[in-house]
Structure 1
Amino acid sequence: MHFDPAVSIQQRYWWRIALELRLRQCNSGAFQDFFSDIMGHLHGDDFVRVRPFGQLGDKGCDGYLNSSGQLFQCYGALNGETKQVAKITKKMSDDFATAFAKLEVIMLEWHMVHNLIEGMPIEAVTTLKGLEKANPKIKFGFIGFEGVAERVFRLSPERIAALLGPTASEDDTKNLDVAILRKLVNELAAAAEAPQLETGDLRPVPVNKLSYNQLPNHWKMLIAGGWTNAPVVASYFERHPDPLTGDRIAAIFRTKYVYYKAQNLPPAEIMAALLELVTGIGYVLPQQQVVAQALLAYLFENCDIFEREPQMAVS
């Protein structure tokens, strides 16, 4: 994956997280628009943005790369919903059949672009292989999170920022703004519905906790990068006029974490939801990113969110 050497490792991970959040939030036409924006930045006029015109429709095409004959069909599920397996496979078969009937003359490749970050159901894979076997002259493929990320990160930093918003630099991380921390904490406390406090048993984070919880690498880097500022958050709560503020914030996040875990959500999706609990949805300014990162690292370090690895019994 190519990056401008002027972009720090931390900025790269923040943009990757911003991309993940954006994909989880996009569905239907919004997802198609976002993918078209990426392809337009990357390929210029070689990429043809397609829209249905009245009753003519789009003939099964959500975008077309002229030089390679690649035809794209987008499937954007709300928050990566994966339960609609029959809907996914039917859409694949129907959309390809429409494109083949109407656009065979221009279609050399057919790619399904999706936002199912945790992966496709195997039924979608077998459906794609069935289409491939029945149409050996056409190349087929999926474009998921990694494929979208690969295309985004071939862009210049300026164009990535235009798509995903600004990102915190190393200098930003060294200058956590306590006023922003105060504002975010107050907003969280005001929005809480007084969950039951369970403030005991806050032991130091085990070294292997990041690995044990099976977080993707970019989320591991988010937490690890925030540990530098976690003591600032701890100090803020210790000095707060209301001595229980830190406990209340911890309880909010623990309650949310337990709720999401009970739904069997994957670790990355839980972390995305917890980050948005701090930042809200949409572009997040660099100083807000620094504060959110520090707050999540503090909660992770104190074992308010995610799990410790069970200790081996001593014989």
Structure 2
Amino acid sequence: MTLTHSASRKKAIRTALELKLRRAKGIRLQEFLTELMKVIHGDNFQPIGTDYSRGDLQCDGLLQNPLTIFACYGPVNAGANATEAAMKTAVAKVGTDFAGALKYWSTLKVWKFVHNYVEQPPAQIVQKILELRAQHSAIAIDLFGKEQFEAALLSLDAETITELVGDAASDEDFRALQPSVVLAVVDSTMKVVDHRQAPDDAPLEVPQQKLHFNGLSAHSQDRIVKGMQNAARVAKLIQDHQDPMLESDLAGAFKGKYLELKAQSLDPDDILFNLYDFSAGGHRTSAALDAAVWSLLAYLFEKCMIFEDKPVTQVAA
């Protein structure tokens, strides 16, 4: 049965999926694939344990009929800004995972390399897939990425999609921001941080190019821009709060978290998604929560509490 989703709903599903894939690094991608395949294929899909110390026979899950082996590769932040060395590792993994599948699964019919790239897969990986197809014409060899995840999700009902990827705020959800949800996000965040933060510097006016020179992806920029329509509302909620120190404590907490993440040399998007998780508190994402978190992050971004307020210049050697 083909389900019909509105254009607005499809956009929200794509947004939720992209966030899910960006966070699905390493073993999380295999776990996401398993959840999705069990819903779609039922007992025909066989999950495979993720304890690599015992060996997985180069299989991260399989369909029994026809015998289809899935191999998962989930680089950090969906492979954004991958180094040359990281790309060589990814290409090598395609080859070794396929060779292992051939060795351990003699009746193999289909092999799928599952990835979490949110852009088109790199040319080097596509080239390797084409090379394997030419060498093994009897086996269907395919990539399984964002487009395939999306097509699978869109065949499901709204409740199941939410169970799998959460819910992302639509334009309507941002316009209908719920103050109580924003305050709940703020209160739950402040409960897990040290309130005795050093007073933050006076907020600066956000530079016009801040979204660009911080190296954030188009997806991240879009979510912050969506949240910025509510920045003034969030500011008023915080300023009117019964705790007169909330604004300064909140700024200090998020600046401290940002600097902690930055010190780990994380990609800008990965820093942003960690800040998202820090705000969401591990709760399953609803549209209302998603709108509240992005609106709060946009407020902090606009007040220059998180991310850099001027381009980082390289010092000549």
- Same-fold call, TM cutoff 0.5: yes
Letter in 2 for 1:236: L
Residue equivalent to 2:298 = 297
TM-aligned CA distance change 1:251 to 1:131, over 3 Å? same
SS in 2 for 1:7: helix
Matches within 5 A, 1:121-270: 125=125, 128=128, 132=132, 135-137=135-137, 138=139, 140=141, 142-144=143-145, 148-149=149-150, 151-153=152-154, 155-193=156-194, 194-203=196-205, 205-270=206-271
Equivalent residues of 1:7, 1:157 under 8 A apart: no
How far residue 173 of structure 1 moved from its aligned partner, in angstroms, is 2.8
CA distance in 1, matches of 2:97, 2:61: 13
Per-residue Cα deviation, 1:8-46 (whole angstroms, up to 9, x for no partner): 47624541354236514xx43x5434213323545x369
How far residue 206 of structure 1 moved from its aligned partner, in angstroms, is 3.1
Residue equivalent to 1:39 = 37
Letter in 1 for 2:251: A
Residue equivalent to 2:307 = 306
Which of 52, 60, 63 is the aligned partner of 1:62?
Answer: 60
Residue equivalent to 1:275 = 276
How far residue 249 of structure 1 moved from its aligned partner, in angstroms, is 0.8
SS in 1 for 2:71: strand
TM-aligned CA distance change 1:219 to 1:77, over 3 Å? closer
Letter in 1 for 2:71: Q
CA distance in 2, matches of 1:32, 1:173: 32
Residue equivalent to 2:45 = 48
CA distance in 2, matches of 1:126, 1:284: 33
Structure 1 residue runs of 5 or longer lacking an equivalent are none
Per-residue Cα deviation, 1:250-279 (whole angstroms, up to 9, x for no partner): 121112222222322111111100011110
TM-aligned CA distance change 1:40 to 1:295, over 3 Å? same
CA distance in 1, matches of 2:95, 2:298: 44
CA distance in 2, matches of 1:71, 1:302: 49
Equivalent residues of 2:21, 2:117 under 8 A apart: no
Equivalent residues of 1:13, 1:222 under 8 A apart: no
Which of 90, 97, 105 is the aligned partner of 1:103?
Answer: 105
Letter in 2 for 1:308: D
Compute the RMSD of aligned alpha carbons. 4.2
TM-aligned CA distance change 1:217 to 1:157, over 3 Å? farther
SS in 1 for 2:308: coil
How far residue 299 of structure 1 moved from its aligned partner, in angstroms, is 0.7
Equivalent residues of 2:14, 2:150 under 8 A apart: no
How far residue 149 of structure 1 moved from its aligned partner, in angstroms, is 4.6
Per-residue Cα deviation, 1:87-106 (whole angstroms, up to 9, x for no partner): 97886555433321233433
Residue equivalent to 1:288 = 289
Equivalences, count: 301
Compute the TM-score of the two structures, normalised by the length of structure 2. Answer: 0.73
Letter in 2 for 1:34: F
TM-aligned CA distance change 1:40 to 1:221, over 3 Å? same
SS in 1 for 2:24: helix
**Identity level (%):** 28
How far residue 162 of structure 1 moved from its aligned partner, in angstroms, is 2.9
Structure 2 residue runs of 5 or longer lacking an equivalent are none
